[in-house]
Amino acid sequence: AKIDGSPFAPVNFWPHLPYKTSPLETGGVDGWICPKGQAGIQSVYDPYRIRRVLKRAGPRGANRWESISFEQAIEEIANGATYADGTSSPGLNEIWALRDPELGKEMAAAVEAILAEKDKEKQQALVEAFKNTFADHLDVLIDPDHPDLGPKNNQFTFAWGRLKDGRGELIKRFAGDAFGTVNAHGHTTVCQGSLYFTGKAMSEQFVEGKWTGGEKFYWQADLANSEFVIFVGANIFEGNYGPPYRVQKVSEGLAEGRMKYVVIDPRMGKTGAKAWKWLPAKPGTEAAIALALIQIILTNGWHNQGYLENANKAAADADGEPNFCNAAWLVKMDEEGRPGKLLRGSDLGLAPEEREKADGSGTWLFDPFVVLRNGKPTPFDPNDAETAVEGDLLVDTEVNGKDKEGKPVKLQVKSGLQVLFDSANEHTIEEWAAIADVSAADLYAIAREFTSHGRKAAADIHRGVSQHTNGYYNVQAWYDLNLLIGNYDYRGGMAVAKAYDQNGGKKGQPFPVTSMRDSAAKKFGVDL
C-alpha cells in the first residue's frame, strides 16, 4: 500500500492534470504528499493506535478504561452514561436545552444589555427583569441568576486538534449553528497564533475612526518568482506549508540558477543542506537577527525610500504601488522618550471634521494623521485617493502643538520608521550577533544580498519565529524587514496565502454554506 497526493490538485502536482484525464493515465502518476501523509501507513499499523472507543472505568484520573462498541458510544453520548464508580453524565439530548433560535436571539439581546450596563445596581435590576421576562424558560440556563453564562448548551464542548478548513467548518456548523454551544475550539494559538495576528494587525485599515478589517493573516514568499529568500524557522523541505507545494518551487529555482536562500534555524535539516548560508541561531532570538539586518539596511540607505514615503492611498496610486504603510507617520513621544500614540491634527490645534458614516447610520469625527514634509507638519487622510501625501522618513524633532485648552506646546515626535530604527540601534551589529550566536559578517552579507534583488526578495518565516512567548515581536521584526524593500503584494516578494473558499463563497461553488443558516442557533454565553 502507498499513499499519494491527488494529481488533480495544484498543491499535490504541478502542472496539475485536467479533471477529464483518464484513470488509465492517472494511475501511473504519483502526486506529491507531505511526510505526515506518507506516514499514514505507519499510523494505520501502529500497535498503539486506539482502534475502539474507550470509556472511563474508574474515578476521574485513575487511568482505568474499558472498550465499548461504537454503537454503545453513540447511545451514551446522546442519552447519557453511567460509569463503573457510580457517577454519571448527561447526554447531548439533555444538554441541548435551548432549541428555539428566536428565543435564543431574544435572550442574547437581553444579556448584551446586561453586560453593557456598568452601574452595578442597574445591572442587577436588568438581571431581575430578564428573569421576569423569560420566567417560563429559565430552565434552559446554566444559572438563571447569571444569564451571561448562557444556556446549558454551552456545557457541550467540541475540542479538536489540527483540522484544516472544511472539516473544521463542518464541526463549527454542527456544534455552533445546530447545537448552539459557544465552545467549539480547535488548536487555537498552540500552532502559531502570533504569526497570524501580526499579519492581521499590519493589514488593519482605518475606517470611520477605528482600525479594523485586517484580512492578511498569513504572508508567504512567492517562491515561484523569488530570487533571494531568508527562511527563518521554516523548514519547507520537512514541514511548513509544505513540502508538496513549496519544495518544487525552490528546487526549480535552484536548478535554474534563479534563486538562492539563507536558512536561520538551530537545526541543520534538508532545507539548510542546499542553502547559501545556514545560521544556527539560538531559539527565541530571531528578532535580534531581524533588527540587526534592519539597522544595516537603514544605516546604508538600502531601503526602498520611494515606497516608504507614501503616506496615503493617493500617493501609492501615483507611484503605481499596490499598498502603502505608516513609516512616515508621526508618533508622539512621552517625557521619557518612549513612543506613544500617533500624532493627530487635533494635537496641532485643528478641529476634527464631522463625516457621514458609509451606512448612513450617523456621523463620526475624522482627526487627520500627520507627516513631516520638508520640515512642515502635513495633516492627511490615509484613505484619500485624490491628494497624494508623502512624508520624510527618519524624523526626530519638535513640532508646535496645542494642549486641550488651546495653549501652545512643544511636542516631541518621531516618524514610525525612526522608532523602528531606534529599536534596531539599541545594540551594535556585533551585540545582536552575539545575542543570537551568529556571525556579524554573515549579517552584513545577508543584508546586502536581501536588498540587491528589488522586490524579488523575501523573509519567509514560520513557527520557529512565532511559537514563543515573544512570538508577536519576533514576527513583527521580520515583517518590518520585508517592509523596508516594499515587497508586499509583489511578484517574487511577499504574497497573501490563498486557497479555495471552504465556505462556498466564490462564484460557481455549489455549496454556499454561509448562507444556508436560516434556522441557525443564536449562541451566547461564556466561551471557555
Residue type, 521: A
User: Is residue 385 predicted with pLDDT exceeding 90?
Assistant: yes
Q: Are the CB atoms for 281 and 365 separated by under 8 Å?
A: no
| Long-range contacts of residues 444-449, Cβ cutoff 8 Å, at least 24 apart | 444/296, 445/277, 446/230, 446/262, 446/277, 446/293, 447/292, 447/293, 447/296, 447/297, 447/300, 447/302, 448/296, 448/302, 449/228, 449/260, 449/262, 449/276
Measuring CA to CA, how many Å separate 288 from each of 285, 436, 440, 442, 481? 5, 6, 12, 14, 12
CA-CA distance, 223 to 492, in Å (whole number)?
6
Q: What DSSP string describes 35-77? A: HHHHTHHHHHT-TT---SEEEE-SSTTS--EEEE-HHHHHHHH
Measuring CA to CA, how many Å separate 227 from each of 251, 259, 327, 443? 12, 4, 25, 18
Q: Which residues does 24 contact at the CB level (< 8 Å), separation at least 6?
A: none
Pairing of strands 396-402, 408-415: antiparallel
What confidence category does residue 38 fall into, taking pLDDT thresholds of 50, 70 and 90? confident
Residue type, 500: Y
So what's the pLDDT on residue 319?
Answer: 98
CA 320-299-413 angle, to 5 degrees, is 75
Q: Which residues does 264 contact at the CB level (< 8 Å), separation at least 6?
A: 230, 231, 232, 233, 278, 279, 281, 286, 289, 438
Question: 53: closest CA among 69, 75, 64, 74?
Answer: 69
pLDDT tens, residue by residue, 245-291: 899 999 999 999 999 999 999 999 999 999 999 999 999 999 999 99
What confidence category does residue 2 fall into, taking pLDDT thresholds of 50, 70 and 90? confident
CA-CA distance, 224 to 99, in Å (whole number)?
51
Residue type, 507: K
164 against 14, higher pLDDT: 14
What confidence category does residue 164 fall into, taking pLDDT thresholds of 50, 70 and 90? confident
Neighbouring C-alpha atoms within 13 Å toward the C-beta of 118: 0
pLDDT tens, residue by residue, 491-502: 999 999 776 666
CA-CA distance, 286 to 281, in Å (whole number)?
7
So what's the pLDDT on residue 165?
Answer: 72
CA-CA distance, 160 to 257, in Å (whole number)?
43
What confidence category does residue 515 fall into, taking pLDDT thresholds of 50, 70 and 90? confident
User: Is residue 507 predicted with pLDDT exceeding 80?
Assistant: no
CA-CA distance, 433 to 283, in Å (whole number)?
13
The three cell numbers locating residue 462: 514560520
What confidence category does residue 168 fall into, taking pLDDT thresholds of 50, 70 and 90? confident
User: Is residue 367 predicted with pLDDT exceeding 90?
Assistant: yes
The whole-chain average pLDDT of the chain stands at 94
So what's the pLDDT on residue 458?
Answer: 99
User: Is residue 64 predicted with pLDDT exceeding 90?
Assistant: yes
Q: Which residues does 526 contact at the CB level (< 8 Å), separation at least 6?
A: 148, 149, 150, 154, 182
pLDDT tens, residue by residue, 302-341: 999 999 999 999 999 999 999 999 999 999 999 999 999 9
CA-CA distance, 395 to 340, in Å (whole number)?
15
Pairing of strands 88-89, 81-82: antiparallel
So what's the pLDDT on residue 500?
Answer: 64
What confidence category does residue 186 fall into, taking pLDDT thresholds of 50, 70 and 90? confident
So what's the pLDDT on residue 472?
Answer: 93
pLDDT tens, residue by residue, 104-156: 999 999 999 999 999 999 999 999 999 999 999 999 999 999 999 999 999 99
Residues 223-231: what's their mean pLDDT?
98
The domain locations on the chain are 53-89, 311-420
| Longest CA–CA separation in the chain, Å | 83
User: Is residue 461 predicted with pLDDT exceeding 70?
Assistant: yes
What percent of the chain lies above the pLDDT cut of 90? 80
Neighbouring C-alpha atoms within 13 Å toward the C-beta of 197: 13
pLDDT tens, residue by residue, 390-429: 999 999 999 999 998 899 999 999 999 999 999 999 999 9
User: Is residue 32 predicted with pLDDT exceeding 70?
Assistant: yes
So what's the pLDDT on residue 499?
Answer: 66
